[in-house]
Structure 1
């Protein structure tokens, strides 16, 4: 099955292709000639995922899915949340700046419980010729370490220690992360739906 994943993020593409396996041919935005910046102006991760998937369906007429992910720290009222990629002021996807701000905001607090949430919005054309949306969510709980650990992964992976583990996502490596992560859980639901 051929389907567009609305991203050009090489890390996400690799992760999704590994999770979905050989039954699916996953095309990136550049594979379909989409080089514009797709707006992400929603105030929830669900809205952002829907916005990106709808954009591809409307402008490129492809079945597609898009995801958005947020790291939510409970003691910070859910920050960085929908702003996870742009948490540090004046930056865009600057992981080092984002992690530095998060550690500053938490300070010496012992209340470091957090969760990663991924929402996937799937747009498929139905027999009526219209696109229909289905959303899938994955979540993993854990805590924010006091300093970065590990070199694998991307984003906040060096700071996030999932429940049941004493190592960060960045220390656990891709094989373990791809089995237990928020994205893996959402993609498993997506895969089951597509195969079903």
Structure 2
């Protein structure tokens, strides 16, 4: 396992919320976080059919372009009764001409479950893969999962994406009914970040 030894980490994202999340984590470690947007990097085409492959594309493209270690993630929802769909296409299911509409995506997912005659509980898991890549081509991979089930109708006003439809194992509330801190202790991204910090930053 290679340890991170630099002072600047590039997070390969154009998502301001995700960038701020990593800044809050890395700043106490004395690490400056910069973003793909701040380096005017284009978003590479994600051509793989798995989370690790797509995260690697983003991390290595950013590291090669800037000469900095780069961190990228790929995440999504896998529904057992839909053979793991939407998976790497989770965000694509929400795409509209006017941007992403996750309410529509959740309705689509529910409709597919009904059409498939899937028996409840509808088992599902959120997946998050983090890839930390160095300019010399080396990388380290960390994965996190949140197991649970899908509920309908969706519940909660907070959160984002499929959060109002996802009830983590052992809970009676959806992610969207929890505070951010509560969700982070259970989330796929929280698990992946914990593994990353233990593997490369301690």
User: What TM-score do the two structures reach when normalised by structure 2?
Assistant: 0.86
Residue in 1 that maps onto 2:47: 41
Q: Which runs of 5+ in 1 are unaligned?
A: none
* 1:76 has 2:107 as partner: no
Structure 2: distance between partners of 1:19 and 1:103: 35
**More deviation in 182-191 or 6-15?**
6-15
Q: Which residues of 2 match residues 31-70 of structure 1 at below 5 A?
A: 31-34=38-41, 36-70=42-76
Write the deviation string for residues 51-98 of structure 1: whole angstroms up to 9, x where unpaired: 000110122221111000120000110010110010257666432221
Residue in 1 that maps onto 2:4: none
Q: Which residues of 2 match residues 13-28 of structure 1 at below 5 A?
A: 13-20=19-26, 22-23=28-29, 24-28=31-35
Shift of 1:170: 1.1
1:15/1:178 contact within 8 Å kept: no
Shift of 1:19: 4.6
Q: Which residues of 2 match residues 28-177 of structure 1 at below 5 A?
A: 28-34=35-41, 36-88=42-94, 93-107=100-114, 109=118, 110-125=120-135, 130-177=136-183
Structure 2: distance between partners of 1:145 and 1:195: 37
Shift of 1:30: 1.6
Write the deviation string for residues 11-59 of structure 1: whole angstroms up to 9, x where unpaired: 322333445562133222122232x232111110110000000110122
1:11/1:154 contact within 8 Å kept: no
Shift of 1:124: 2.2
Structure 1: distance between partners of 2:162 and 2:170: 18
Taking structure 1 as reference, are residues 11 and 104 closer, same or farther at Cα in structure 2, changes over 3 Å only?
farther
User: What TM-score do the two structures reach when normalised by structure 1?
Assistant: 0.88
Q: What is the CA RMSD across the aligned residues, in angstroms?
A: 1.9
Q: Which runs of 5+ in 2 are unaligned?
A: 1-6
Q: How many residues align?
A: 191
Q: Point out 4+ residue stretches in structure 1 off by more than 6 angstroms.
A: none
* 1:2 has 2:8 as partner: yes
Structure 1: distance between partners of 2:25 and 2:157: 20
Structure 2: distance between partners of 1:178 and 1:19: 12
